Homo-oligomer: A and B are copies of this chain.
Amino acid sequence: MSRVAVIGAGAVGCYYGARLAEAGHEVHFLMRRDYEAVQARGLSIVSKDGDLYIAHPHIARDASAIGPVDWVICALKATAIEEARALVAPCVGASTRILVLMNGLGLEDRFAVWFGAERIFGGLAFTCINRGEPGVVHHIDYGPVTVGHLKDDPAELDTALALWSGAKVETARAESLLAGRWTKLCWNIPFNGLAVTAGGITTDRILADPSLRAAVSALILEVAAAGNADLDAHGSPARLDGAAVARSMVAATEAMAAYRPSTMIDFVEGQPMEVEAIFEEPLRRASAHRVATPLLSLVTGQMRSLNARAR
């Protein structure tokens, strides 16, 4: 059993941390907003995979009270990346591994600079999880986590997947973390972007509009092309098949109920959106690799402007 610190105990952090605790791991949650509620009433997960209640989870207001662990799961919002180093550092010892369970591109590189690349992993959660009242998390749909290692070391990847082997979480291997990140962007960029820029709409309404539906596929082709150029520049042999990704993501999203992407929730609530990690960094890389991405550029400009108004 491992000692685990969940840094950023929002909906995603609480959900996956609770699943690890359920499997017997010693899981510590760094909490802000929900600290008092969880101390008083415990942590409740309402899940389509089975509800879960932890009466007395290990919770801390300060990461130094947790100290070094085997695994840090960093589930901060990407907008908080500048705070991540200070929040994570007290939990990092000589043999600590870090799973970056966040949205967007380039975040693991930041952690690698701070803590060394060998210990850095990326987690890509394909799931629909929302916060409820303090201390309550609603897990509505999906749930698999794709895990990759920043250096794509297969043995390290085995170690990472072993953590989850007894937990009620479906996992998948990303032999190339970078390809996994770009693949996830193929969903996040069109669906988070259009859900916001079309006025705060759910995924079903994007797909019901012929122009927006066409834009989803066109954006995915641009993102996949940028991703392939980025993989090439990183010396990775992995490649995305843009047309196939577009088909499968449209089909998977169509099979979902009306879904509010996290960025859309931030938008309608007037919160800062994850524009930097989901839009700006991919656009910068596309531009650096001279891949034409006019639709991504347009949506990024819109998101940037909307985000400036949200703050």
Chain A residues in the interface with B (C-beta under 8 A): 194, 197-201, 205, 209-212, 214-215, 218, 283, 294-295, 297-302, 304-306, 309
Contacts and interface: CB of A to CB of B under 8 A. Distances in A.
B211 A297 contact: yes
A297 B299 CA distance: 13
Contacts of A209: 301, 304-305
A168 B225 CA distance: 55
B306 A211 contact: no
B301 A298 contact: no
Nearest to A296: B211
Contacts of A215: 294, 297-298, 301
A278 to B, nearest CB: 14
Given A215-B294, A294-B295, A199 B301 contact: no
Nearest to A279: B211
Given A199-B306, A210-B301, A298-B298, 12 more contacts: A194-B301, A199-B302, A199-B305, A201-B309, A211-B297, A211-B298, A212-B298, A212-B301, A212-B302, A215-B294, A215-B298, A218-B298
Q: How many copies does the complex hold?
A: 2
8 contacts: A194-B301, A194-B302, A209-B301, A209-B305, A211-B304, A214-B297, A215-B297, A218-B294
A299 B306 CA distance: 15
Contacts of A199: 302, 305-306, 309
Given A211-B283, A211-B300, A283-B211, A198 B305 contact: yes
Given A295-B295, A298-B295, A306 B214 contact: no
Contacts of A198: 301-302, 305-306
Contacts of A194: 301-302
Contacts of A299: 298
Nearest to A310: B199
Q: What are the 3 A-B residue pairs with the smallest beta carbon separation, nearest first? A: A211-B301, A198-B305, A212-B301
A112 B211 CA distance: 30
Nearest to A292: B218
Contacts of A294: 214-215, 218, 294-295
Contacts of A298: 211-212, 215, 218, 295, 298-299
Nearest to A222: B294
A211 to B, nearest CB: 3
